[in-house]
Amino acid sequence: MLMQNARTLSATHPAKPLDRWAPEPHGIDISALDTLGVRMSYARNAEIFGEGEPTHYVFKVVAGAARTYKVLDDGRRQISAFYLPGEVFGLEATDTHHCSAESVGRSIFLVIKRTALLSLARTDHQTTHLMWRLTAHELERVQTHMLVLIRSAQERVACFLLEMAERMGTGDVVELPMSRQDIADYLGLTIETISRTLTQLEGNGAIAVPTCRRIVLCDRAALKRLHA
Amino acid sequence: MLMQNARTLSATHPAKPLDRWAPEPHGIDISALDTLGVRMSYARNAEIFGEGEPTHYVFKVVAGAARTYKVLDDGRRQISAFYLPGEVFGLEATDTHHCSAESVGRSIFLVIKRTALLSLARTDHQTTHLMWRLTAHELERVQTHMLVLIRSAQERVACFLLEMAERMGTGDVVELPMSRQDIADYLGLTIETISRTLTQLEGNGAIAVPTCRRIVLCDRAALKRLHA
DNA sequence: CGAGGTATTGACGGCTCTCAAGTCTGGTGG
DNA sequence: CCACCAGACTTGAGAGCCGTCAATACCTCG
């Protein structure tokens, strides 16, 4: 449930159109959602919703980042996706979440009542189509990610860095919001392998790692070529 | 394009309600689609549509099976999903396919004009919601499959067999429509590993393999326990 | 009966995981 | 400002799993 995390979050002002600056990363105009929600602040690693819980709210990242994940019986965690500013998560066609979600760092999310969205969709065909497209875009992203999971460690890390650079839109400098453990659980590797691979890539001159959360893509062509 | 495969397929009669017997595997009632389509027969390994092609048609499996896949630069193929009788594939929110699709064996599909579906959706809110749910169900399945891809070979094969048994609904006897290569590309393994793992499982007494396409689940509990 | 594709089995090597130390970093308090 | 601490990250050594290459068996169809 949303409110049981009340101690880890605090409501801010009702949504002002301040987040209009945020990119629309899907190529889908989701600004229609902005007036429906309330901004809330989440602490680092705060639970946003849990797998199997009812889908009362839909979220849009204003600042920071979120991760959705599933946990295996043996405790391993697979991160399905990261969500960066401007992106929507927690939208389900059914009435329960099928992933858990947490805030990666300290983050601000626009929180939208699902009922508000659905009642809008009942009259507005555009909104219905929007929800469908968002889900379809999500599907496409996961399918692409499956391709990454069958590759070598070097390829996975290279793909990850290129994906993040692409989505953050900050050119060749990537400021990672997530830990090595998060990256490992996203790519299906261990933190040691992530670390070793980054060191290798740095040795190749493909990247530079000034601090452990900041990565500079020095040679994108080399990263794309990394199919070995 | 659909019609360039004309030599590999042949139209049969316009849809009769014969396929009503087919299961509705998503727990979603998709019988509304049946009257919109035409049945067509596809040869083994026939191309149904290609990645990037316009989404003119939506397909429902009547008999046989289909696979959707993407190909990496180095030629490796990742199968996103298999579709069994009663299941729908090729439905996209955008106007191009983002996977390729092929018939696994000789198959019969119900072929539905996308424009017919969309124009129905324009007036019928139920249909719109149906399309959304189908896409969402697809997303959930792919996310679950990601969990499989990070496990060991034994776990992956065990999960695959349990999934197929579940979906085919034929109890403990699984008649696989697909080759070892298909299974390998679905699970992110090689055919040799698939073969070796099946032999191991047979040695454990977890399964029996009377013919290479027929597998009997002797000890489901052992398969579920296989987390090593 | 022969041929080609499909599946199985074996030997070996490499990649990634595991376990175990070290090192760095950011935050806290003196 | 500095010392300290806890968590995050890096690095190393060894083992195990799976991929690769190669040979053999099987099965279907001509």
B115-143 pLDDT, tens digit each: 999 999 988 888 899 999 999 999 999 99
| CB-CB neighbors (< 8 A) of A137 in chain B | 93
Using the beta-carbon criterion (under 8 Å), do B143 and A98 form an inter-chain contact?
A: yes
Using the beta-carbon criterion (under 8 Å), do A133 and B94 form an inter-chain contact?
A: yes
Q: Is A148 on the interface with B (CB under 8 A)?
A: no
Using the beta-carbon criterion (under 8 Å), do B93 and A135 form an inter-chain contact?
A: yes
A193-214 pLDDT, tens digit each: 999 999 999 999 999 999 999 9
State the DSSP code for A114.
H
Q: Which residues contact B219 (CB under 8 A, 6 or more apart)?
A: B204, B205, B206, B207
Query: Which nucleotides in chain C lie closer than 7 A to a protein CB?
Result: 6-11, 15-20, 25-26
Which residue carries 């004309």 as its tokens?
Answer: B6
Nearest nucleotide by C1' position to the A193 CA atom: C16
B172-215 pLDDT, tens digit each: 999 999 999 999 999 999 999 999 999 999 999 999 999 999 99
Using the beta-carbon criterion (under 8 Å), do A93 and B133 form an inter-chain contact?
A: yes
pLDDT grade for B68, boundaries at 50, 70 and 90: very high
Q: Which two tokens stand for residue A39?
A: 């901004």
| CB-CB neighbors (< 8 A) of B144 in chain A | 70
pLDDT grade for B12, boundaries at 50, 70 and 90: very low
pLDDT grade for A86, boundaries at 50, 70 and 90: very high
Say how far apart CA B34 and CA B31 lie, in whole Å. 5
A29-83 pLDDT, tens digit each: 777 778 889 999 999 999 999 999 999 999 999 999 999 999 998 889 999 999 9
Residue B86, φ and ψ in degrees, nearest 5: 95, -10
Q: What is the pTM of this model?
A: 0.90
B217-228 pLDDT, tens digit each: 999 999 998 754
Which residue carries 């670390």 as its tokens?
Answer: A195
Domains along the sequence of chain A with CATH: 3-148 (2.60.120.10), 151-225 (1.10.10.10)
Residue A14 has pLDDT above 70, yes or no: no
Q: Which two tokens stand for residue B21?
A: 């017997």
Using the beta-carbon criterion (under 8 Å), do B136 and A78 form an inter-chain contact?
A: no
Which residue carries 């947490």 as its tokens?
Answer: A102
Q: How far is the CA of B215 from the C1' of D30 (A)?
A: 29
Helices B180-187 & B153-168 angle (0-180, nearest 10): 110
Q: How far is the CA of B7 from the C1' of D29 (A)?
A: 21
Q: How far is the CA of B210 from the C1' of D8 (A)?
A: 52
| CB-CB neighbors (< 8 A) of B28 in chain A | none
| CB-CB neighbors (< 8 A) of A138 in chain B | 139
Query: Which nucleotides in chain D lie closer than 7 A to a protein CB?
Result: 8-13, 17-22, 27-28
Answer for the pair A89, A81: CB distance below 8 angstroms, yes or no: yes
Q: Is B228 on the interface with A (CB under 8 A)?
A: no
Distance of CA A95 to the CA centre of its chain: 21
